[in-house]
Chain A
Amino acid sequence: MAEVQYRFRDDEPVADPGVTVDSFGAQSNAAAVRLEPGDDARALLPHLERLRLVEVNFPVFGDGRGYSSARILREAGYAGELRAVGQVLVDQIALMRRCGFDSFAPDQPLEPADAEAAFARWADVYQPTTDGRAPVWAKRHPGAVNA
């Protein structure tokens, strides 16, 4: 299994590898699950309290379903580790970070200088996500709320 190269959280990592969504439902003690692109992230929502690690697999970087899976989990309040695994490339990690991923275990390790530049690149963002960053419209209108 690929090494975790970046992890943006301080808690103790879960040692077990993620089980499939199907076996996760049956194994009442599993704390880690692995989502494939075709899996429904919402199937995990009844079990969020016992989940500590969700690995979202990107078998090919061009399959973008994992971005939606990540946001769905974070929007539902999932606070455990959300790990991008598979073909995780340096030019996509900033997008993944915005969708709620807080750890990265790429099949091919990323060039550290490029990865750090990518994480730091976008000072402003147009859209709010659950990552807590203020979108440009919030900076333009401090205090405004959507009616």
Chain B
Amino acid sequence: MYKYDQYDQAMVDTRVEEFRDQVRRRLEGHLPEEAFRPLRLMNGLYLQLHAYMLRVAVPYGTLNSAQMKVLGDIADKYDRGYGHFTTRQNIQYNWIKLEEAPDILADLARVEMHAFQTSGNCIRNTTSDQYAGAAADEVVDPRPYAELIRQWSTVHPEFNFLPRKFKMAVIASDTDRAAMRLHDIGIQIVKNEAGELGAAFYVGGGMGRTPMIAPCINAFVPIGQMITYSEACLRVYNRHGRRDNKYKARIKILIHELGKDEYTRQVEAEFAHLLTQNIEPPAEELERIKAFFADPPFETGITDELDRSDAAFARWADTNCLAHKQPGYIAVTISLKPVGGIPGDASADQIRLMGELARQYSFDELRVTHAQNIVLPHVRKADLYALWQILDANGLGTPNLDHIGDMIACPGLDYCSLANARSIPVAQKISERLAPREAEIGELKLKISGCINACGHHHAGHIGILGVDRKGVENYQLLLGGCEGADTSLGQITGPGFDEDGIVGAVEKATEVYLANKQGEERFLDTYRRIGMAPFKEALYG
């Protein structure tokens, strides 16, 4: 994975000292909250329901064991012994003191980590495919391109005060595992007929109160112009995005109002101009970065078979592991969704343990997934049973990847000052109710948001749940038919909402309608797409 040089290290060290100075001025009364707020947000520090919350960036979701150790140690030293992995591949801590935040950033900087721009109206952490470098279907490893974007977007002088936040994702396979088209800019690295690499730009996607699927505005930007094209997209947005209404300030609204063609025309004009400015890093820089993402020293001639004699192990291996491009290896997803647990939470001990297991079994590499799980990308099949035994003994062996218990849930009203309803208790009840039937129900992606901002991706769930405030009482709307990935679709609301127990029953009914109508190998989503909303409505409200 990527290693900092003296320049990258100086950037994070400088940021720590800058923020330390800003915190000092805030505490001494020289910096009012109004001016301090965007600065702390751009260093990942929110003021949430119970305390400050710190969101640490995990660039394109890639981590090593030394970093996991520090993430676990931060949870113990500055927080309350746990962290929460997020849908943008980051980790956040819920009980942070402002006066200690600069020290935490300093601890992170020592292991080449930071909280740059994990909040604020700026370019956020760039996400990617959690199986990058392991997946058989990728054109190239997308992470060097994401690293190029990380550096370009870090303290970009023009784009720190955009109309609104700006999220980018980079993938390099047709199977989209990063919800690429639900980002402000989604980039797919592609190869043309001449064998040259380019970047397909999908701009203006997003969830929130106005969900939109990003249209492709340029199917092939030569790879040596990707940064320049990104800058053009951002400049048009910075100049013309709406600033009169924060709910209409995302780039998706600009593109919707201008029309895709007019936005594209403006971007192309700006791009033509910026090409004269020589702002693109040279090919040598991309090559330098790529070298860090070379394959680890895979062994050859090792066994490609699994000993499946332990049924519990076989079930976990079938559910949570993905075929690897290298014979003899497998990519392992560690579910952070134990039955009845808090989705995405991990204790300090679990965080350090997963790091240690990565060191032992996965060439010192881990990934955070947008579905709030952890991946060990390169595990020898011969080691899989031993690895599973350790995971299982530590509450990390839940066999539910992409099943109903593997739901995404935002922190909701238990932690978040924006939320209208609690998400986690609903997640826990559904998990407990339906986990016993997971094998029967099969693939089903459930996503729960505690408010319309959609951090829990409810629009993209096969089943989505949106928590709302109905006259001071928590109420939950049900959505069906959403999907991220190559066949992205947005879920439709079934009808009137439910109370907390009612929504659990409604989800169960929806799964029963599916099981009663399922044909052949259909997944829940396939059946829904075939039979439509009516049978579900009938069962829910009839």
Taking the complex as a whole, does A directly touch B, i.e. does some CB pair lie under 8 Å apart?
Answer: yes
A contacts, CB < 8 Å to B: 37, 61-65, 67-68, 71, 75, 89, 91-92, 94-96, 98-99, 111, 114, 117, 121-130, 135-137, 139-141, 144-147
Docked-complex contact A75 and B18, CB < 8 angstroms: no
The answer to the question of B542 belonging to the interface, with a C-beta cut-off of 8 Å to chain A, is no
Given A65-B239, A91-B39, A121-B18, A136–B151 Cβ distance below 8 Å?
A: yes
Docked-complex contact A124 and B239, CB < 8 angstroms: no
The answer to the question of B50 belonging to the interface, with a C-beta cut-off of 8 Å to chain A, is no
Q: Which of A68, A96, A137 neighbours the largest number of chain B CB atoms within 10 Å of its CB?
A: A137
B7, B10, B273: the one within 8 Å of A140 (CB): B7
Docked-complex contact B273 and A146, CB < 8 angstroms: no
Q: Size of chain B's interface in residues, with CB distance under 8 A?
A: 44
The answer to the question of B529 belonging to the interface, with a C-beta cut-off of 8 Å to chain A, is no
Residues of A within 8 A of B283 (CB): 144, 146-147
| Interchain nearest-CB distance for B172 vs A (Å) | 22
| Interchain nearest-CB distance for B29 vs A (Å) | 12
Docked-complex contact B121 and A95, CB < 8 angstroms: no
Q: Which residue of B lies closest to A126 (CB)?
A: B151
18 contacts between A and B (CB under 8 A): A61-B161, A64-B158, A64-B159, A67-B157, A68-B239, A75-B277, A95-B157, A114-B21, A121-B18, A122-B155, A126-B151, A130-B277, A136-B11, A137-B282, A140-B284, A141-B284, A141-B288, A146-B280
| Interchain nearest-CB distance for B157 vs A (Å) | 4
The answer to the question of B305 belonging to the interface, with a C-beta cut-off of 8 Å to chain A, is no
Q: Which residue of A lies closest to B225 (CB)?
A: A146
The answer to the question of B22 belonging to the interface, with a C-beta cut-off of 8 Å to chain A, is yes
Given A62-B161, A68-B239, A123-B14, A144–B282 Cβ distance below 8 Å?
A: yes
B10, B158, B162: the one within 8 Å of A71 (CB): B158
Docked-complex contact A140 and B288, CB < 8 angstroms: yes
The answer to the question of B512 belonging to the interface, with a C-beta cut-off of 8 Å to chain A, is no
Q: Which chain B residues (292-329) contact chain A, with CB distance < 8 Å?
A: none
| Interchain nearest-CB distance for B233 vs A (Å) | 13
B8, B151, B285: the one within 8 Å of A141 (CB): B285
| Interchain nearest-CB distance for B30 vs A (Å) | 7
Given A75-B273, A94-B157, A146-B278, 14 other A-B residues pairs in contact with their CB atoms under 8 A: A64-B161, A65-B238, A68-B238, A95-B157, A98-B157, A99-B157, A99-B158, A117-B21, A121-B14, A122-B155, A126-B152, A127-B156, A147-B282, A147-B283
Docked CA distance A99–B155 (Å) = 12
Docked-complex contact A95 and B7, CB < 8 angstroms: no
A121, A129, A147: the one within 8 Å of B224 (CB): A147
Residues of B within 8 A of A65 (CB): 238-239, 243
A67, A92, A128: the one within 8 Å of B238 (CB): A67
Given A136-B151, A140-B7, A146–B224 Cβ distance below 8 Å?
A: yes
Docked-complex contact B282 and A89, CB < 8 angstroms: no
Docked CA distance A98–B154 (Å) = 14
Which 7 pairs across A and B sit closest by C-beta, in order of nearness? A64-B161, A98-B157, A144-B282, A136-B7, A137-B281, A95-B157, A137-B285
Docked CA distance A67–B243 (Å) = 15
Docked CA distance A64–B240 (Å) = 11
| Interchain nearest-CB distance for A2 vs B (Å) | 17
The answer to the question of B5 belonging to the interface, with a C-beta cut-off of 8 Å to chain A, is yes
Docked-complex contact A67 and B35, CB < 8 angstroms: no
Docked CA distance A114–B25 (Å) = 10
Q: Mark B142-169, 1 if CB is under 8 A from A, else 0.
A: 0000000001101111111110000000
| Interchain nearest-CB distance for A47 vs B (Å) | 18
B31, B154, B235: the one within 8 Å of A68 (CB): B235
Q: What's the dominant secondary structure at chain A's contact region?
A: loop
Q: Which chain B residues (410-425) contact chain A, with CB distance < 8 Å?
A: none
Docked CA distance A81–B162 (Å) = 25
The answer to the question of B38 belonging to the interface, with a C-beta cut-off of 8 Å to chain A, is yes
Residues of B within 8 A of A146 (CB): 224, 278, 280-283
Docked-complex contact B282 and A128, CB < 8 angstroms: no
Q: Mark B39-50, 1 if CB is under 8 A from A, else 0.
A: 100000000000
Q: Mark B1-43, 1 if CB is under 8 A from A, else 0.
A: 0000101101100100110011001000011000100110000
Residues of B within 8 A of A67 (CB): 157-161, 238
B7, B31, B162, B235: the one within 8 Å of A124 (CB): B7
Docked-complex contact B288 and A128, CB < 8 angstroms: no
Docked CA distance A136–B162 (Å) = 24
Docked CA distance A114–B159 (Å) = 23
Q: Which of B7, B21, B157, B277 neighbours the largest number of chain A CB atoms within 10 Å of its CB?
A: B157
B160, B224, B277: the one within 8 Å of A64 (CB): B160
Residues of B within 8 A of A139 (CB): 7
Q: Which residue of B lies closest to A130 (CB)?
A: B277
Given A68-B239, A127-B279, A140–B5 Cβ distance below 8 Å?
A: yes
| Interchain nearest-CB distance for A88 vs B (Å) | 11
Docked-complex contact B273 and A62, CB < 8 angstroms: no
Residues of A within 8 A of B22 (CB): 91
Residues of B within 8 A of A141 (CB): 282, 284-285, 288
Q: Which chain B residues (264-282) contact chain A, with CB distance < 8 Å?
A: 273, 277-282
Docked CA distance A140–B421 (Å) = 50
Docked-complex contact A140 and B239, CB < 8 angstroms: no
| Interchain nearest-CB distance for A33 vs B (Å) | 18
Residues of B within 8 A of A125 (CB): 155, 157
Docked-complex contact A61 and B35, CB < 8 angstroms: yes
Docked-complex contact A128 and B14, CB < 8 angstroms: no
Q: Which residue of B lies closest to A96 (CB)?
A: B157
| Interchain nearest-CB distance for A39 vs B (Å) | 10
Docked-complex contact A124 and B10, CB < 8 angstroms: yes
Docked CA distance A130–B278 (Å) = 10
